[in-house]
Chains A and B, each alone.
Chain A
């Protein structure tokens, strides 16, 4: 994202989030990319393969998260924690990151899902600061 309109504190939060995300993708076997999106579908930080547009990914994540939220409400009042989509090509998992963001993780089919959940939930919680700092600025 364009960080020129951010305060130094906000920029620092974003930079730290970018490092956290990159370190997570690098250190996890079979994770091919990840992105933190605001719930209205804008990329905040990302570490994706070249061919994936972060704007497009962020929008798809926000729509899915919105529909996932409606799905858990079939159970009664509740907040969605994560959405897991499995396919032959791999998994796409969306984790809630605070109240204003969602972390999407792209993996190969062979990923260790248990380990991924443990790590990704931690990362999502670490990234909260970056989504919360984002609300306060408007160009």
Chain B
């Protein structure tokens, strides 16, 4: 007997952390995005930015279960905070993306993380971008962006396997955190809809 679940995951983090790249690297289906050209100081950092949300999916299977993650990305800039509230509603797991190579964004990262953890208590993974195979950088982020109960791991948003590993880690935390009766609400009746192994 295999159980099929679906969960909502929100990916947040400061401007230019790599959220859009990450979701595009991993999604099993075409990503629905809302990119707009940047202006002013932000145009010097990159050409486009997410102004609404992104939506992608990831299917994963383990022993006795399969899961489909609906992955939502939100804009990083604080002026889009209202989208954090809208998209954050009903999330089951929270993924904070931090760029190890840009220390000037770490305090913003912490502010984003704190905002989401204050509004709802779900499992948290802090993904440290540009820190694949660099535990020293991950430790540095653990100190600079301290979120109680969060798991920290280093990866690179352009590396599909790394992104997958990070999201599967979050899925594990979500599964562990939910009591059986809560898990039932995430059961998908039609197994074919998930496409997991039988």
A20 is an interface residue with CB less than 8 A from chain B:
no
- CB-CB contacts of B124-166 with A at 8 A, as 1s and 0s? 0000000000000000000000000000000000000000000
Contacting residues, chain A, for B49 (C-beta < 8 A) = 40
A63 is an interface residue with CB less than 8 A from chain B:
yes
Contacting residues, chain B, for A55 (C-beta < 8 A) = 79
With CB as the reference atom, state the residue of chain B lying closest to A1. B40
Q: Closest Cβ of chain A: how far from B42's Cβ, in Å?
A: 7
Total A-B pairs, Cβ < 8 A: 73
Known: A59-B79, A59-B82, A138-B43. A66 touches B51 (CB 8 A): yes
B70 is an interface residue with CB less than 8 A from chain A:
no
Number of B residues, CB within 8 Å of A:
24
Q: Closest Cβ of chain A: how far from B2's Cβ, in Å?
A: 34
Chain B contact residues: helix, strand, loop or mixed: mixed
Stretch of B16-24, B29-37, B99-107, B182-190 contacting A (4+ beta carbons < 8 Å):
B29-37
Q: Closest Cβ of chain A: how far from B90's Cβ, in Å?
A: 18
B75 and A63 form a contact (CB under 8 A) = yes
CA separation between A137 and B40, bound complex, in Å? 6
Contacting residues, chain A, for B37 (C-beta < 8 A) = 39-40, 100, 135
CA separation between A100 and B39, bound complex, in Å? 10
A38 and B39 form a contact (CB under 8 A) = yes
CA separation between A37 and B53, bound complex, in Å? 18
In this complex, which of A38, A40, A64, A100 has the most chain B Cβ atoms within 10 angstroms of its Cβ?
A: A40
CA separation between A39 and B43, bound complex, in Å? 12
| Further contacts, 12 of them, CB under 8 A, given A42-B40, A62-B51, A63-B34 | A40-B49, A41-B51, A41-B77, A56-B82, A59-B77, A59-B80, A62-B36, A63-B51, A63-B82, A70-B32, A100-B37, A100-B39
Residues of B within 8 A of A (CB): 32-44, 49-53, 75, 77, 79-80, 82-83
Q: Which 10 A-B pairs have the closest CB atoms?
A: A66-B34, A39-B36, A66-B52, A59-B79, A66-B51, A62-B51, A63-B52, A67-B52, A40-B36, A38-B39
